Amino acid sequence: MIKFGEWLPDQPDLENKGVTVAENVIPAFEGYRSLNSLGNVSNQATNELKNIFSAKDNSGNVKLFAGDAGKLYEFNAGTSNLDDISKGGGYSLTDSERWRFVQFGTSIIVAGGIGETLQEFTLGTDSAFGDLGGTPPKADFIAVVRDQVWTGNIDEGSGRVPFRVRWSGINNATQWTVGTDQADFQDIPDAGAITGLVGGEYATILMEKAIVRASYVGTPLIYQIDKVETARGCTFSGSVANIGNTIFFLNEDGFYAFDGQQAIPIGAEKVNKFFFEDFNTAFPDKMTSAVDPTNQIVVWSYVSNGNTSGSTPDKLLIYNYAIKRWSIASVSVDLIAPFFTAGYTLEALDNLASNLDSLPAPLDSNLYKGGAFLFGGSVDKKITSFTGQPLSATIETSEFALNKGRHSIVTRSVPYFRNGSVTVQVGARDRQDDAVTFSTANSLTDEGFVQHRSQGRFHRIRMNISGFWDFAQGFDIEGQPLGRR
């Protein structure tokens, strides 16, 4: 069997150790799994959404929030509407700014860039967001580190300080007076602007030219600031996503995973070259990223050079961090984000579709279960989730010579897959500088194989799989040698 190996677009097609195409699939250990299409969760917001966030109150009830350039919303499962819960007067985020949410106890705190005061919503009490109390800075980035709220790339009121972090008092998100309750700030002036901030037991500060770690040590220093990565930083703020202490990001030379001590290359000689040739650098602020722990993948959404719909991201680059393999998908989505469902009653399902056949996911889907994890994003001003029918996919083997130095004819193939419907094409060429010509897509015979008659010196096999498929593994092929001409 020719098993579907790792997708390695940066390597030559001939005798590539993996596959040359892996589109609309999720990498698996012995092949590829299906990637579901997007289904609507909510009705439309006023403008394109700029982030999605879910939180749980002390009773375990889920609240789902979102925001666009002018409003903050709460998802209403009873109507599927995004209810406006903005402060009076609303907001005015720029095209490049995004909302960034954290939960601090029962408070949801949101940063909207240097033009917006930090916003707060208290679960179980508030009906609308309002300005966070105290004198917090305006900020591009926000995180919770131990029991303090951190901000980065901030505006102190007198102007932007892109290399400064500032944090609140202990257990007090409204205490920002420096020197009180261990509230303080730190400038890191020699590593460029802050491009990401990740919390936890320690703070990870991603900057253009370095990665900095801030560890709590108590008074008088409060936090010890160490540059733990100086060879590179994070160039694209939308590329930062984390699972636990592992942070994924994109630098100008490729993709990395930061483990708290060092940045480990994950895209070198695999996808970096492909990505930078495909990535439309005119729209770096459109990039978003998120981790789907259910499928053990981190995903980057971006605008490709082949995009025909303007600035809407049209590609997903997918990395399975458990097995260190990649794939790609052609999916148009304004942003991607993980979240928890708010839960539905049977009556509320009427707001999603007029009948059961029109629902965006099967009735047993996590979409309808309160508190269930979903991976999704936003399309057309709506919250969406990857809970639809599996996307039609294409997987293509590397190029091979059945008989080195001689022409061959491929006569049949046996595709190995689970569920769904498959057609198979054979690509052939005589010389490495020739274009590859693919045969007509043929279906399985009743005997379980696909008939071909493809002649050439070099061949590759393409599987097109659709319907409710869930796994694709590889091929057996049959052929015979011909003359040397």
Question: What DSSP line would sit under 337-390, residue for residue?
Answer: EEEE-----TGGGGGT-SSGGGSSS-TTSGGGSTT-EEEEEEETTEEEES-SSB
pLDDT (0 to 100) of residue 224:
96
pLDDT tens-digit readout, 383-438: 999 999 999 999 999 999 988 878 899 999 999 999 999 999 999 999 999 999 99
Report which secondary-structure segment, H or E, holds 50.
none
Mean local confidence (pLDDT), 149-174: 95
pTM for this model (two decimals):
0.92
Tokens encoding 222: 């409060």
- Note whether 80 and 42 are within 8 A (CB): yes
Tell me how far apart the alpha carbons of residues 37 and 387 are, in angstroms, rounded to a whole number.
Answer: 6
Percentage, residues of the chain above pLDDT 90: 86
Name which residue leads in pLDDT, 230 or 366: 230
pLDDT tens-digit readout, 110-148: 999 999 999 999 999 999 999 999 999 999 999 999 999
In three-state secondary structure terms, 119 is: strand
pLDDT (0 to 100) of residue 346:
42
For 204-268, give the DSSP string: EEEESS-EEEEEEEETTTEEEEEEEE-S---S-GGG-EEETTEEEEEETTEEEEE-SS-EEESST
